[in-house]
Amino acid sequence: MTYTVKYKHLDDFRWKSIKKVKGDGIMTEAPYRFFILDDESRIEIPLGCIFKFSSGRFLLIKKRMEQESGQQIITGERS
């Protein structure tokens, strides 16, 4: 399961997309957010950007939490 991330610099009006993202995080030693793609490559983008995550990110996190806990996680999503 993967998701899409859109981002733009604060002074730019164009959004750019990163597709097939399977994980992300924030680097503690530098002001960057990183993205791991499904081919195991890594992209780093400065935190001075605005990020928009597709709903697939939430679903992936929920799925991983259910696998780790062994329990179903109930959310406000519609059936």
pLDDT band at 78 (very low <50, low <70, confident <90, very high): low
> Has residue 37 been placed in a domain?
yes
> Has residue 46 been placed in a domain?
yes
Cα distance between residue 2 and residue 55, in whole Å? 10
For residue range 41-70, what is the model confidence (pLDDT) as tens digits? 999 999 989 999 999 999 998 998 999 999
**Residue 17 CB partners (closer than 8 Å, separation 6+):** 4, 5, 6
State the total domains in the chain: 1
What is the span of the domain harbouring residue 15?
A: 3-69
Residue carrying structure tokens 């997309």: 17
Joined tokens for residue 58: 């939430």
Q: What is the pLDDT of residue 12?
A: 93
> Has residue 75 been placed in a domain?
no
> Has residue 74 been placed in a domain?
no
**Residue 70 CB partners (closer than 8 Å, separation 6+):** none
pLDDT band at 79 (very low <50, low <70, confident <90, very high): low
> Has residue 55 been placed in a domain?
yes
For residue range 3-46, what is the model confidence (pLDDT) as tens digits? 999 999 999 999 999 999 999 999 988 899 999 999 999 999 99
> Has residue 77 been placed in a domain?
no
Question: What DSSP character marks residue 29?
Answer: S
Cα distance between residue 9 and residue 13, in whole Å? 8
Residue carrying structure tokens 């490559």: 41
> Has residue 59 been placed in a domain?
yes
> Has residue 78 been placed in a domain?
no
